[in-house]
Amino acid sequence: MDANYRPELIEAEAQKQWETDQAFRATENDGRPKYYCLSMFPYPSGKLHMGHVRNYTIGDVLARYHRMKDYNVMQPMGWDAFGLPAENAAMANKVAPAAWTYANIDYMRQQLKSLGLAIDWSRELATCKPDYYRWEQWLFTQLFEKGLIYKKLATVNWDPVDHTVLANEQVIDGCGWRSGALVEKRDIPMYFFRITDYAEELLAELDHLPGWPERVKTMQRNWIGKSFGVEIHFPLSKPAGQDVLKVFTTRADTLFGATYVAVAAEHPLAQQAAANNPQLAAFINECKQGSVAEADLATMEKKGMDTGLVAYHPFTGEAVPIWVANYVLMGYGEGAVMAVPAHDERDFAFAQKYGLPVRAVIRPSGEEKGVRREAEKPDSPHASLLTPYTEYGVLFDSGDFSGRSSQDAIEKIALVLKGLGLGERRTTFRLRDWGISRQRYWGCPIPIVHCPSCGDVPVPADQLPVVLPEDVVIDIGSPLKKMPEWSNCTCPKCGGAAERETDTMDTFVESSWYYARYACPDNDQAMLDGRANHWLPVDQYIGGIEHAILHLLYARFFHKLMRDVGLFGAENIRSSAGGPLPNPPPGGEGANAALRAPKAIDEPFKNLLTQGMVVAETYYRDLPDGKKQWINPAEVEVERDAKGHIVAAKLKSDGLPVIIGGIEKMSKSKNNGVDPQALIDQYGADTARLFMMFAAPPEQSLEWSDAGVEGAHRFLKRLWKAVHEHVAMGTVAAYSGGELSSAQQGLRRQLHQTIQKVSDDIERRQQFNTAIAAVMELMNALARLEGDDAVTRGLRQEALEAVALMLAPMVPHICQALLAELKPGIAFNQAAWPGADTSALVQDEIELVLQVNGKLRGKLVVAAGAAKKAIEQTALASPEAQKHMEGKPAKKVVVVPGRLVNIVV
């Protein structure tokens, strides 16, 4: 055995062996229980970043741990290969997106391999390859036939200079990132998935996902946003051209406080009023400026204008003005809201700004009386209302409904409105249908042919895939729209001249089903086969918390779509290409979960671990053109104050100051990434893995610092040295029984406690930093164990074997090498996880904490099985207790078994 730890040698050797042995290949015909461990696949952006290293190490620890626990583990890897960055890179470097992407994949695959991940590479897939997206197109045509996909107008960011649609991230302060032009909203036709048909099920199934973090489920619930409200019709006068103006509200109890109605700029009423009102037309035009992102809409200044039209209150018949407001969105509900300034923050601010009346109709209910400000008293003049009262309460000034509670009034008002034909109860969802059309090139072509006589015709299965041409030149806009040789075709239905759809799909579509395709990536006859039934659901999914809503919701939705197309049924073993579909379930798509397949197949991810982000300090300098030059932390030297806080920073190369930009997620745009390759090259993969797992628990965000890496590396060196020194004295069998001194007994107890803790930390808590800390403590204790007698050496052998096994999921290369020295001939990949010897855990005396009035005053040693009463006596008699009780009698004595005694005087 080499006296020195040489990661570059042992890692290369171990990886080579795993590759020749095909050690991580997963097969279905295996008697053991399956464990499908999946980390979110990477976008091939160029090289791995720290977030990847963290994500894949976490996944690998869990995969390797379960492998040692005798599960049939499948851990695949692939590439989320379509997307915007490839087009940007193409423009910047004059390379085709495909070539750029494939080169990145090759580089990053080699990087992943150098991390020593237990991946079954035979299942690798890339979403930009026709043999993958072909099935996405096939599913699209199936859903299209079933009516689960439809076309409608949707609003996008339009760059009027570049004549192109911009992604939200390409809009900076309302302007196009390249052209700098003021962005406009524009309506274009797009295809939509009817995710709202599944809203009920997507919501309800969250209650059956105990393996998901509560916060993710909460976020999804809020996103789906089921709300019970009332649709209210405000009658219109004849010139308005319509009979009623429909609004939706969850607060029908405030109806008598409605003092105006606000409609979206795109609302037909607004359009109509603008026809002979140039000022209004100008305002509506102004509303068209800016991005479509909700964060921008919600934070912009609330503006509005009176249309001059009025609607009539459904109960009082009073005329209320109709305003156009930029905060009302056409896409939500009816594109119109009733405004109740007295009981809604936003309406209140708007009314204040434009001098609209405020009419209070809800006051706090009895028990809360007197808590509220004077201004909210029912008899105070409305003008003095300082803040709106937005809680539920009791109605007043509300006709027959006065005196009712809010909840009661909502029911009653809905009922009366219904009787009048002026509204009814309605359940709505915040969730909107998923628009998937993208006016971009580097994505999966939408398999639709536009025929002048047949309309939108899905491409038949035998003509799939619609292949995306890869040899193209990119400038602004999609080249597909300028390639008649690609888009001209014949109609599959009538054979006449037709044109292909030139939009591609949202890249979230590819990532919504890749987890299933890993089961059978080689099947060229069907999207999925029986192997998907074997492996699904994913037992453990690991990925960034930033995917908590969109990706995870879309993947859940797709799972249900695939189920309802019959891909998980018994019949899915036959070719699904071109085959007949099972009948759609009766009564709509979302309504009949009970009629469907067993629960297990309703959700794709059984357990979810959301890792926090890897963040780092950012630094920049302002450039003369107003832009920022971001500087990598590696090029910056920081100055700290006496307390260690960063006070100033300067560039190493010129010594001049740079601006500290705060801590942010590592990203290319902020140039604050730390290249993991340098770390791996210098210290080896095991050090990188160990540091990543030790620095923070997986769910927390991890602030990067180079300093800790050294420590991780030193620990591995100490571990290597400890094994080397032990092995150099000759082989010895692990301790298996016999008399032990109390120090030996103590060490052996710690060893088996550590085994217990590490198992629990990895399996249940998924908190690897404390598992590693426990092993470090054990190693520190082992270093203090003196003696070279046979028993001590046997004990050391037992401990070192266990340490090598316990650390194997985190640092597999070194553990394989150490185990080979400790137990020559052992097959590392068949090594089993160690079990704790419970007989070693027994203690006959335990230490308790002694408190007087909740303050720590001393310690007590009592027999392990001592009765509460006896412990109480011992505690009261102890000198520490006597001293701090100052002669006063004990009012109460709290004994927490195994923990503490608290004497209250």
Partner RNA sequence: GCCCGGGUGGUGGAAUAGGUAGACACAAGGGACUUAAAAUCCCUCGCUCGCAAGGGCGUACCGGUUCGAGUCCGGUCCCGGGCACCA
Segment 622-641, which members bind RNA (CB under 7 A)? 640
- 683 is a contact residue toward RNA (CB under 7 A): no
Using CA atoms, how far apart are residues 657 and 638, in angstroms rounded to an integer? 10
Q: Which stretch binds RNA (CB under 7 A): 455-463, 514-522, 594-602, 760-768?
A: 760-768
Please report, as residue ranges, which positions from 244 to 263 form the binding site for RNA (by CB under 7 A).
none
Please report, as residue ranges, which positions from 165 to 184 form the binding site for RNA (by CB under 7 A).
165-170
Query: Closest approach of Cβ 881 to RNA, in Å?
Result: 11
Out of 59, 83, 176, 676, the residue judged to bind RNA by CB under 7 A: 83
Tell me phi and psi for residue 711, to 5 degrees.
-60, -40
Out of 717, 734, 745, 746, the residue judged to bind RNA by CB under 7 A: 717
- 215 is a contact residue toward RNA (CB under 7 A): yes
CB-wise, 406 or 439, nearer to RNA?
Answer: 439
C-beta neighbour count of 607 within 10 angstroms: 18
Q: Which stretch binds RNA (CB under 7 A): 69-77, 107-115, 456-464, 779-787?
A: 779-787
- 760 is a contact residue toward RNA (CB under 7 A): yes
Q: From 318, 327, 328, 391, select the one nearest 357 (Cα to Cα).
A: 318
SS3 866: coil
For the chain, how big is the Rg over CA atoms in Å? Answer: 34
Task: For the chain, report the end-to-end CA distance as a whole number of angstroms.
Answer: 64
Contact between residue 124 and residue 78 where contact means Cβ atoms under 8 Å apart: yes
The DSSP output letter for 386 is: -
Using CA atoms, how far apart are residues 640 and 250, in angstroms rounded to an integer? 53
SS3 895: strand
Query: Closest approach of Cβ 899 to RNA, in Å?
Result: 4
CB-wise, 417 or 613, nearer to RNA?
Answer: 613
SS3 annotation, 230-298 = EEEEEEECHHHCCCEEEEEECCHHHHHHCCEEEECCCCHHHHHHHCCCHHHHHHHHHHCECCCCHHHHH
- 6 is a contact residue toward RNA (CB under 7 A): no
Percent of residues in the chain assigned helix, strand, coil, to nearest 5: 40, 20, 40
Using CA atoms, how far apart are residues 558 and 563, in angstroms rounded to an integer? 8
Q: How many residues bind RNA (CB under 7 A)?
A: 108
Contact between residue 350 and residue 304 where contact means Cβ atoms under 8 Å apart: yes
CB-wise, 627 or 643, nearer to RNA?
Answer: 643
CB-wise, 440 or 813, nearer to RNA?
Answer: 440
Q: Which stretch binds RNA (CB under 7 A): 15-23, 255-263, 354-362, 777-785?
A: 777-785
Query: Closest approach of Cβ 739 to RNA, in Å?
Result: 28
Query: Closest approach of Cβ 698 to RNA, in Å?
Result: 9
- 56 is a contact residue toward RNA (CB under 7 A): no
- 89 is a contact residue toward RNA (CB under 7 A): no
* Strand (E) or helix (H) holding 515: helix 514-517
Each residue 263-302 as x (binds RNA by CB under 7 A) or -, in order, gives -----------------------------xxxx--xx---
Strand order from edge to edge, sheet including 72-74: 72-74, 34-39, 540-544, 608-611
- 3 is a contact residue toward RNA (CB under 7 A): no
- 199 is a contact residue toward RNA (CB under 7 A): no
- 223 is a contact residue toward RNA (CB under 7 A): yes
Query: Closest approach of Cβ 252 to RNA, in Å?
Result: 20
Q: Which stretch binds RNA (CB under 7 A): 391-399, 523-531, 733-741, 897-905?
A: 897-905
Extract the tokens encoding 337.
């809201």
Which of left, alpha, beta for 598 (phi over 0: left; psi -120 to 50: alpha)? beta
Using CA atoms, how far apart are residues 501 and 440, in angstroms rounded to an integer? 12
Query: Closest approach of Cβ 813 to RNA, in Å?
Result: 19
- 546 is a contact residue toward RNA (CB under 7 A): yes
- 378 is a contact residue toward RNA (CB under 7 A): no
- 85 is a contact residue toward RNA (CB under 7 A): yes
* Strand (E) or helix (H) holding 152: strand 149-159
- 664 is a contact residue toward RNA (CB under 7 A): yes
Alpha carbon distances (Å) from 423 to 175, 418, 426: 42, 5, 9
CB-wise, 369 or 430, nearer to RNA?
Answer: 430
Please report, as residue ranges, which positions from 467 to 496 form the binding site for RNA (by CB under 7 A).
none
- 209 is a contact residue toward RNA (CB under 7 A): no
Q: Which stretch binds RNA (CB under 7 A): 11-19, 482-490, 674-682, 763-771?
A: 763-771
CB-wise, 599 or 883, nearer to RNA?
Answer: 883
SS3 896: strand
Query: Closest approach of Cβ 271 to RNA, in Å?
Result: 23
Q: Which stretch binds RNA (CB under 7 A): 353-361, 579-587, 693-701, 869-877?
A: 693-701
CB-wise, 154 or 310, nearer to RNA?
Answer: 154
Q: From 625, 528, 521, select the one nearest 569 (Cα to Cα).
A: 528
Please report, as residue ranges, which positions from 306 to 335 form the binding site for RNA (by CB under 7 A).
none
Out of 200, 347, 506, 529, the residue judged to bind RNA by CB under 7 A: 506
| Long-range Cβ contact pairs of 218-223 (< 8 A, separation 24 or more) | 219/548, 219/549, 220/548, 220/549, 220/552, 220/553, 222/430, 223/430, 223/431, 223/549, 223/553
CB-wise, 135 or 441, nearer to RNA?
Answer: 441
- 763 is a contact residue toward RNA (CB under 7 A): no
Out of 267, 665, 689, 823, the residue judged to bind RNA by CB under 7 A: 665
Using CA atoms, how far apart are residues 457 and 491, in angstroms rounded to an integer? 7
CB-wise, 1 or 890, nearer to RNA?
Answer: 890
- 700 is a contact residue toward RNA (CB under 7 A): yes
Out of 707, 861, 879, 886, the residue judged to bind RNA by CB under 7 A: 707
- b (16+ CB within 10 A) / e for 236-257: beeebeeebbbbbbebbbbbbb
Contact between residue 73 and residue 63 where contact means Cβ atoms under 8 Å apart: yes
Out of 272, 463, 575, 770, the residue judged to bind RNA by CB under 7 A: 770
Query: Closest approach of Cβ 39 to RNA, in Å?
Result: 13
Angle, vertex CA 416, rays to CA 414 and CA 421, nearest 5: 90
Query: Closest approach of Cβ 708 to RNA, in Å?
Result: 5
Out of 176, 333, 435, 633, the residue judged to bind RNA by CB under 7 A: 435
Query: Closest approach of Cβ 624 to RNA, in Å?
Result: 26
- 615 is a contact residue toward RNA (CB under 7 A): yes
Given the DSSP bridges, would you call strands 149-159 and 184-193 parallel, antiparallel or unpaired?
Answer: antiparallel
CB-wise, 283 or 715, nearer to RNA?
Answer: 715
Alpha carbon distances (Å) from 628 to 88, 589, 618, 631: 19, 50, 11, 9
Alpha carbon distances (Å) from 132 to 28, 138, 457: 21, 10, 22
Query: Closest approach of Cβ 47 to RNA, in Å?
Result: 14
- 153 is a contact residue toward RNA (CB under 7 A): no
Query: Closest approach of Cβ 783 to RNA, in Å?
Result: 6
Q: From 455, 349, 343, select the one nearest 389 (Cα to Cα).
A: 343
Query: Closest approach of Cβ 190 to RNA, in Å?
Result: 6
List, as one string, the DSSP characters of 583-637: PPPSS-SSS-GGGSS-GGGT-SBSBEEEEPPEEEEEEEEE-TTS-EEEE-GGGEE
